[in-house]
Structure 1
Amino acid sequence: MTSNTDNHFVAQAVHDLGSALWFGGAVMGIAGVNKSGSDLSQGIDRIRVASSAWSRFQPAQFGGIAATLLAGLRLTQVGGRRIALQKGFGAVGGLKAGLAVAGAGATAYAAYSGAQIGKLAEQAQQRGETVEVKDATLPTAGTNPEIQKWQSRQRVTQFLVPALAGANIVCNSWLVQSYRAGATAKGVLRRLLPD
């Protein structure tokens, strides 16, 4: 394989696998992890189950994000000619990069919010207070206001993360399709011919 070809399947595979891990993990968090504690009777246990699951998954999740970002950077490097020649390629590539960075930030903030919920719940438990929650992200009428605040933040970010990760995947699909010969020719002609 020579460096003057468009064949960069390893970077594309690493990017796609990382994105799949990131997106899939975020969806699993919403659908499964954060809700799983609702099957337990104690509020503190509802939070502990989600906190434990997320802390175990975090290295894999941030590995997926790192793979997405680093492989995305490599794909941008090898697609440099297309950015200059093919209309739309640079704009979508820039949007994709922005979505990836925003998604990484949202994921980090979601992790921080979850850690705050866990910390506040443990502190309340140590003070002898009953920790009341429906699940890791949903409060009850009796939930400590500080825990409620972080649960509210967590609920927003838990949906923001897969939305940003998914949008990143959609942009990547557009970029991959733009490598097709017909799409390349149209993009170059649109760049050369004024609207």
Structure 2
Amino acid sequence: MQTDNHSVAQAVHDLGSALWFGGSAMGVIGVNSAGRDLKEGADRIRVASSAWGRYAPAQWAGIAATLAAGLQLTRVGGRRIALQQGFGTVGATKAALAVAGAAATAYAAYCGKRISDATAEAERRGEPIEVVDATTPTEHTPESIAKWQRQQRVAQFLGPVLAGANIAAGSHLVQSYRAGATAQGILGRLLPNR
């Protein structure tokens, strides 16, 4: 007999999402702006790049756990998707948020690599590197760095926003397992004009 018990998958999903969201938010709020405490612009970029590089394996493990556990939760919730009104829509929205968040995180990492490479190239040429912090250029920042900083800043903010929205959608789905919500969803599917 198959059950709807999915507590392990839910725990893996929630812990993975927490790792992804928490680390991304801390990086955007703390790591990027912490470079302001350093004197040299290149150091501001290097330190943030190093910190993000060290965190990346944990962040990707959190994203992988979120996506893999999300697939398992979808599998065990198959009957609810078919029977309970709104469950499938919220589940599809949640999946889209997770995929978009993973894409934003990947693009932020790509931008970070481009910033790091452009910084190293500017240093080789002897160009001064002036930045406010890891993702905020000044009017004197070389354009080869500044354009990637602007893109990374947006992508890095999207990461925790989309991860947080994914967590919120997951909370909605968990609440739909309550008996009253289940009954209301099934009645809504069977009697849509009630």
TM-score with structure 2 setting the length: 0.98
Q: Give the structure 2 partner of residue 30 of structure 1.
A: 28
1:151 aligns with 2:149: yes
1:5 counterpart SS class: coil
Aligned-pair identity in percent equals: 68
Q: Give the structure 1 partner of residue 167 of structure 2.
A: 169
Deviation at 1:53, TM superposition (A): 0.1
2:136 counterpart SS class: coil
1:115 aligns with 2:113: yes
Question: Structure 2: 5+ residue runs without aligned partners?
Answer: none
C-alpha distance in 2 between matches for 1:66 and 1:30: 20
C-alpha distance in 2 between matches for 1:34 and 1:194: 50
Q: Give the structure 2 partner of residue 141 of structure 1.
A: 139
Deviation at 1:140, TM superposition (A): 1.1
Q: Which amino acid aligns with 2:162?
A: L
Q: Which amino acid aligns with 2:36?
A: S
1:134 counterpart SS class: strand
Q: Give the structure 2 partner of residue 18 of structure 1.
A: 16
Question: Structure 1: 5+ residue runs without aligned partners?
Answer: none
Match of 2:189 among 184, 188, 191: 191
Q: CA RMSD in A?
A: 0.8
Runs in 1 of length 4+ with deviation above 2 angstroms?
A: none
Deviation at 1:6, TM superposition (A): 1.3
Q: Give the structure 2 partner of residue 78 of structure 1.
A: 76
C-alpha distance in 1 between matches for 2:76 and 2:4: 7
C-alpha distance in 1 between matches for 2:7 and 2:129: 50
TM-score with structure 1 setting the length: 0.97
C-alpha distance in 1 between matches for 2:51 and 2:74: 34
C-alpha distance in 2 between matches for 1:105 and 1:158: 11
Deviation at 1:194, TM superposition (A): 2.1
Deviation at 1:158, TM superposition (A): 1.2
C-alpha distance in 2 between matches for 1:194 and 1:63: 41
Deviation at 1:86, TM superposition (A): 0.1
Matching of residues 94-105 of structure 1 within 5 Å: 94-105=92-103
2:9 counterpart SS class: helix
